């Protein structure tokens, strides 16, 4: 027998977007129920906090908005409505003292997500929000599999905040796409974002697995970033790779400038001063100080090494890395694709499902790491919740 409950405001998904939507709904006087499939809420949020919870970025807001690429125009009013100052006020109200790192990324001083999440859940509970754990949405309107058997809810308004499809073991598996597709909601395919890429390394690179590559500029067609990345047994990953992952995923070639502060001419001149009897590898060591994983990369990707100083210098300024494709979707930090902008009203209500709103990674936007992911999840959650609160 399926029990049926009439609910005022329903939020499905207890990640940062869902919790922020619930907060906005409760502040507007709505009686809110949150349903989450997992035994505990915000698991991906907690996982992100294990390496230091990067809540936001300290860059000027317009510069931040530009990081969202094609989605920037429609996200702009949402990010202005709940921007960096609002995030700071929200975190401060939960007792989280923030600081800005040298890279412009903003973190709680506790460097963890758990204290912030505990305070947030306590605030929501105090506002009358009910959190139902282990309630998995089954589609077909609002049917749920629960620890106590099937349940059917009848909400007056709903916000979907089910995440993307990365790190499925933490709760975001993308299963919601089937239900929305049957309702005619326009969806862009879910693809990995902020992910590593596979490289078929030779045994020569084995001693360097796990090593960071520093002091280089990474380039993908006309896009470039000066950042470090990591050599792994499976390929390349880390901040520099994630910053260009959108372009690399779409087919751009990855090249490295191994000496971004030197010109081809300057490098060639230094190489030419070395005795001709030296091997090319020893000339690289003695003339340029190239060693370790950086030298190994050059030996791996520029085989055979040019002997002419100018040709060798040109190779060092544009060293191609032969990528074999992105790592699988479930290994990505975040997801691109999802509910297309055309399927949504300005208030993030689904045009083909009146009274149902959507927020967070379900929406068709992507951004690099650096605080932009959480900022957009919080902002779209707040925006969807605020607009859902006016629906009767």
Q: Are residues 56 and 170 in the same domain?
A: yes
Q: Are residues 125 and 260 in the same domain?
A: no
Domain for residue 326, yes or no? Answer: no
The reported pLDDT for the residue numbered 1 is 34
Positive or negative CA dihedral for 262, 263, 266, 268? Answer: positive
Domain for residue 327, yes or no? Answer: no
Token output for 343: 């399927």
The stretches of the chain forming alpha helices (DSSP H) are: 16-27, 43-49, 61-66, 72-81, 84-93, 114-126, 176-182, 239-249, 264-272, 280-288, 292-301, 309-317, 372-388
Cα gap 205→389, rounded to integer Å: 56
The reported pLDDT for the residue numbered 140 is 81
Cα gap 372→383, rounded to integer Å: 16
Q: Are residues 204 and 171 in the same domain?
A: no
Task: Give residue 205's domain range.
Answer: 197-321
Q: What angle do CA 150, 156, 160 make, to 5 degrees?
A: 70
Q: Are residues 32 and 101 in the same domain?
A: yes
Q: Are residues 214 and 357 in the same domain?
A: no
Q: Are residues 351 and 309 in the same domain?
A: no
Domain for residue 219, yes or no? Answer: yes
CB 36 within 8 A of CB 378: no
The reported pLDDT for the residue numbered 4 is 60
The reported pLDDT for the residue numbered 3 is 53
What is the gyration radius of the CA atoms in the chain, in angstroms?
A: 24
Q: Are residues 38 and 179 in the same domain?
A: yes
The reported pLDDT for the residue numbered 228 is 96
Cα gap 165→190, rounded to integer Å: 7
Q: Are residues 105 and 148 in the same domain?
A: yes
Q: Are residues 140 and 15 in the same domain?
A: yes
3-state secondary structure of 256: strand
Name 256's bridge partners: 218, 319
Cis peptide before 236 (omega within 30 of 0): no
Cα gap 330→282, rounded to integer Å: 42
Q: Are residues 380 and 240 in the same domain?
A: no
Domain for residue 99, yes or no? Answer: yes
CATH code (residue 384): 3.50.50.60
Domain for residue 310, yes or no? Answer: yes
Cα gap 385→158, rounded to integer Å: 9
Listed residue (146, 136, 200, 202) closest to 172, CA to CA: 136
21: burial class by Cβ within 10 Å (0-12, 13-18, 19+)?
A: buried
pTM score of the predicted model: 0.93
Provide block-wise average pLDDT over 10 residues at a time, the chain (392 residues).
74 98 98 97 89 92 96 98 97 96 93 94 98 94 94 97 93 94 96 97 97 98 95 96 96 98 97 93 96 97 94 97 95 96 98 97 96 97 98 87
CB 336 within 8 A of CB 366: yes
Q: For the chain, how many structural domains are there in total?
A: 2
371: burial class by Cβ within 10 Å (0-12, 13-18, 19+)?
A: buried
The reported pLDDT for the residue numbered 186 is 98
The reported pLDDT for the residue numbered 139 is 85
3-state secondary structure of 380: helix
Cα gap 329→38, rounded to integer Å: 20
Domain for residue 328, yes or no? Answer: no
Domain boundary among 321, 345, 365: 321
Domain for residue 270, yes or no? Answer: yes
Q: Are residues 259 and 316 in the same domain?
A: yes
């Amino acid at each position: 027998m399926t029990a049926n409950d009439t609910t005022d405001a329903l939020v499905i998904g207890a990640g940062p977007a869902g919790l922020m939507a619930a907060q906005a709904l409760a502040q507007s006087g709505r009686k809110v129920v949150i349903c989450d499939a997992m035994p505990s809420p915000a698991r991906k949020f907690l996982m992100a906090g294990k390496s230091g919870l990067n809540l936001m970025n300290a860059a000027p807001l317009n510069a931040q908005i530009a990081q969202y690429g094609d989605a920037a125009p429609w996200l702009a009013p949402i990010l202005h409505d709940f921007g960096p100052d609002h995030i700071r006020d929200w975190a401060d109200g939960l007792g989280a003292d923030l600081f800005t790192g040298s890279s412009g990324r903003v973190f709680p001083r506790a460097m963890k997500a758990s204290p912030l999440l505990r305070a947030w859940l306590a605030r929501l509970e105090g506002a009358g929000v009910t959190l139902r754990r282990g309630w998995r949405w089954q589609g077909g309107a609002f049917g749920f599999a629960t620890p106590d058997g099937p349940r059917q809810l009848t909400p007056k308004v709903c916000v979907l905040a089910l995440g993307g499809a990365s790190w499925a073991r933490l709760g975001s598996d993308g299963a919601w796409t089937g239900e929305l597709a049957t309702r005619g909601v326009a969806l862009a395919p879910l693809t990995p974002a902020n992910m590593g890429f596979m490289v078929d390394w030779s045994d020569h690179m084995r001693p360097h697995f796990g090593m960071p590559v520093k002091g280089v500029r990474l380039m993908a067609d006309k896009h470039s970033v000066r950042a470090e990345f990591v050599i792994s047994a499976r390929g390349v990953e880390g901040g520099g790779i994630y910053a260009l992952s959108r372009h690399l995923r779409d087919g751009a070639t990855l090249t490295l400038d191994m000496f971004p502060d030197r010109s081809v001419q300057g490098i060639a001149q230094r190489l030419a001063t070395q005795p001709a009897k030296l091997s090319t590898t020893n000339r690289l060591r003695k003339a340029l100080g190239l060693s370790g994983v950086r030298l190994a990369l050059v030996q791996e990707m520029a085989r055979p090494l040019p002997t002419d100083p100018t040709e060798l210098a040109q190779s060092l300024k544009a060293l191609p890395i032969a990528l074999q494709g992105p790592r699988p979707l479930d290994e990505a930090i975040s997801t691109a694709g999802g509910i297309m902008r055309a399927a949504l009203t300005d208030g993030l209500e689904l045009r083909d499902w009146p009274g149902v709103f959507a927020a967070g990674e379900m929406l068709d936007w992507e951004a690099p790491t650096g605080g932009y992911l959480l900022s957009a999840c919080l902002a779209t959650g707040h925006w969807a919740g605020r607009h859902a609160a006016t629906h009767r």
